[in-house]
Amino acid sequence: AQKVTQAQTEISVVEKEDVTLDCVYETRDTTYYLFWYKQPPSGELVFLIRRNSFDEQNEISGRYSWNFQKSTSSFNFTITASQVVDSAVYFCALGNQAGTALIFGKGTTLSVSS
Amino acid sequence: SQTIHQWPATLVQPVGSPLSLECTVEGTSNPNLYWYRQAAGRGLQLLFYSVGIGQISSEVPQNLSASRPQDRQFILSSKKLLLSDSGFYLCAWSWGYGYTFGSGTRLTVV
């Protein structure tokens, strides 16, 4: 069975702090895709990144970076120098090669205060 | 370009009333379509997905049903709403390995 675990329910930081959101996944598929989405208070899901199971290179995009480690089945997300606008719920999700529905973690609520 | 439309944005319905939420996709054909629900303070739960017209898979037994009368139209329905149906409903479509979500419908059952 496929499963995504985001153990951190809520995280509170002060602006300019770095913060890492954890994501651990379970799957028996050898080919799969991992995603991170941001859900601001307005509710829509904003796509952040997609990573396939064959590409373990870490990725950096501005203040965002992702650490994918198959050995520990983790796909962690780090925000460097956090800002108030980063306050949102962040979801990690898993999809298989067939392109069927994404399986989401329960989300981590990030609160960044000034 | 592809876009996804979902309406209404908010809805307040009494217990026992019917429900119909609509989702349409533009700019693509034969997309995979999905309905998710997010209960207050909780994660996203897959309700239904469809790989083609008239093909609906249900993930969770419940008070809801889905239909796909046209290739790019996905409808979520209920004959009689329950209080527990309250939540944020998101429609999504996928192409290959990408997924796009609608803006969501916030349903409150009173």
**Tens-digit pLDDT profile for residues B86-104:** 999 999 998 776 788 999 9
Alpha carbons A60 and A83: distance in angstroms, whole number = 17
What pLDDT shows up at residue B29? 85
Q: Considering only CA atoms, which of A50, A31, A64 is closest in space to residue B99?
A: A50
Contact criterion met (CB < 8 Å) for B97 and A33: yes
Contact criterion met (CB < 8 Å) for A47 and B104: no
The CA distance from A35 to the nearest CA of chain B, in Å, is 9
What pLDDT shows up at residue B2? 75
Burial B82-102 (b: 16+ CB within 10 A, else e): eeebbbbbbbbbbeeeebbbb
Contact criterion met (CB < 8 Å) for A43 and B103: yes
Q: What is the three-class DSSP state of B9?
A: coil
Residue A80 has pLDDT above 80, yes or no: yes
pLDDT band at B85 (very low <50, low <70, confident <90, very high): very high
**What number is the average pLDDT over the span A84-102?**
88
Q: What residue type is assigned to position A14 of the chain? A: V
Residue A100 has pLDDT above 90, yes or no: no
Alpha carbons A91 and B105: distance in angstroms, whole number = 19
Alpha carbons B59 and B95: distance in angstroms, whole number = 20
Q: What is the three-class DSSP state of B104?
A: coil
Residues of A in contact with B106 (CB under 8 A): 43
Residues of B in contact with A47 (CB under 8 A): 98-100
- Count of CB pairs separated by less than 8 Å, A with B: 50
Q: What is the three-class DSSP state of B84?
A: helix
A45: which residues sit within 8 A by CB, 6+ positions away?
A: A37, A38, A39, A91, B90, B92, B101
Alpha carbons B21 and A44: distance in angstroms, whole number = 16
What pLDDT shows up at residue A99? 61
DSSP class of A80: S
Least confident of A43-52, A66-75, B91-100: B91-100
